[in-house]
Amino acid sequence: MASLSADVVACPDCDLLQRIPALSPGGSAYCPRCGRKVATSKPGSLERTTALAVAAAIAFLITNVEPLMGLSLAGREASTTIAGGVWQMWEQGEKITALLIALFAVIAPALQIGFLLAILLSLRRPPAPRWVGALLRWVEIAGSWSMVEVMMLGILVSLVKLAAIARVVPGVGIFAAGGLILLLAAMSSSFDPREAWSRVRWVKDEGPQRALPSGGVDAAEAGR
Amino acid sequence: MTSVARTGMSEGFVSCGACGLLSRPAGAEEPGECPRCGETLEFRRRDAIQRTWALVITAGICYLPANILPVVRTTTLTSEETDTIISGVVHLYATGSWYLALILLIASVMIPLAKLSALAYLLITVQRGAVRNNRERARLYRLMEIIGRWSMVDVFAATFAVGLVRLQPLMSVAPQPGVLFFSGVVILTIIAAESFDPRLIWDSSQGKQETND
Nearest CA to B44 out of A202, A213, A10, A142 is that of A10
Share of chain A above pLDDT 70, in %: 90
Q: Three-state DSSP class for A172?
A: helix
pLDDT of residue A50: 94
- Decide if the complex's ipTM is over 0.90: no
Most confident segment among A103-107, A155-159, B32-36: A103-107
Model confidence, pTM: 0.86
pLDDT band at residue B35 under the 50/70/90 scheme: confident
**Residue with the larger pLDDT of the pair A161 and A32:** A32
Q: Which residues of chain A have a CB within 8 Å of the CB of B183? A: 96-97, 100
Lowest mean pLDDT among A86-95, A197-206, B34-43, B141-150: A197-206
Query: Is the separation of the CB atoms in B187 and A100 below 8 Å?
Result: yes
Which residue in chain A has the smallest CA separation from B203?
Answer: A14
- Quick one: average pLDDT of A34-53? 90
> Is A13 within 8 Å of B91 when comparing Cβ atoms?
no
pLDDT of residue B140: 95
pLDDT of residue A62: 95
Estimate the crossing angle of helix B153-164 against helix B178-195, to 10 degrees.
Answer: 150
pLDDT for A98 beyond 50: yes
- Quick one: average pLDDT of B76-94? 87
Q: Does B32 touch chain A (CB under 8 A)?
A: no
pLDDT of residue B171: 82
Return the bridge partners of B173, or none.
B74
> Is B35 within 8 Å of A89 when comparing Cβ atoms?
no
Lowest mean pLDDT among A15-24, B64-73, B200-209: B200-209
pLDDT of residue B206: 74
pLDDT for B212 beyond 50: no
pLDDT for A219 beyond 80: no
- Pairing verdict, β B14-15 and B22-23: antiparallel
- Quick one: average pLDDT of A58-73? 90
> Is A157 within 8 Å of B104 when comparing Cβ atoms?
yes
pLDDT of residue A3: 37
Contacts made by residues B132-136, CB under 8 angstroms, sequence distance 24+:
B134/A14, B134/A34, B134/B201, B134/B202, B134/B205, B135/A33, B135/A34, B135/A35
pLDDT band at residue B74 under the 50/70/90 scheme: confident
pLDDT band at residue B17 under the 50/70/90 scheme: confident
Mean pLDDT of chain A: 85
> Is A211 within 8 Å of B134 when comparing Cβ atoms?
no
Which residue in chain B has the smallest CA separation from A165?
Answer: B171
> Is A17 within 8 Å of B7 when comparing Cβ atoms?
yes
- Quick one: average pLDDT of A185-200? 89
- Quick one: average pLDDT of A121-145? 88
Query: Is the separation of the CB atoms in A117 and A190 below 8 Å?
Result: no
pLDDT of residue B211: 41
- Quick one: average pLDDT of A37-59? 92
- Quick one: average pLDDT of B76-96? 86
- Separation of alpha carbons B136 and B98, rounded Å: 32
Structural Rg of chain A based on CA atoms: 22
**Residue with the larger pLDDT of the pair A127 and A60:** A60
The domains of chain B are located at: 1-43, 47-212
Query: Is the separation of the CB atoms in B44 and B199 below 8 Å?
Result: yes
pLDDT of residue A4: 39
Lowest mean pLDDT among A37-41, B52-56, B186-190, B208-212: B208-212
Q: Which residues of chain A have a CB within 8 Å of the CB of B158? A: 158
> Is A35 within 8 Å of B198 when comparing Cβ atoms?
no
pLDDT of residue A207: 54
Minimal Cβ distance to B138: which of A8, A35, A200 = A35
pLDDT for B208 beyond 70: no
- Separation of alpha carbons A210 and B68, rounded Å: 57
Task: Kindly report, residue by residue over B119-171, the tens digit of the pLDDT.
Answer: 999 999 999 988 888 999 999 999 998 888 899 998 998 888 888 888 777 88
pLDDT for A224 beyond 50: no
User: What single string gives the DSSP state of each residue in chain B?
Assistant: --SPP-BTTTTT-EE-TTT--EE--S-SS---B-TTT-PBP-SS-TTHHHHHHHHHHHHHHHHHHHHHS-SEEEEESS-EEEE-HHHHHHHHHHTT-HHHHHHHIIIIIIHHHHHHHHHHHHHHHHHTT--SSHHHHHHHHHHHHHHGGGGGHHHHHHHHHHHH-EETTTEEEEE-THHHHHHHHHHHHHHHHHHS-THHHHHHHHHHHHHH-
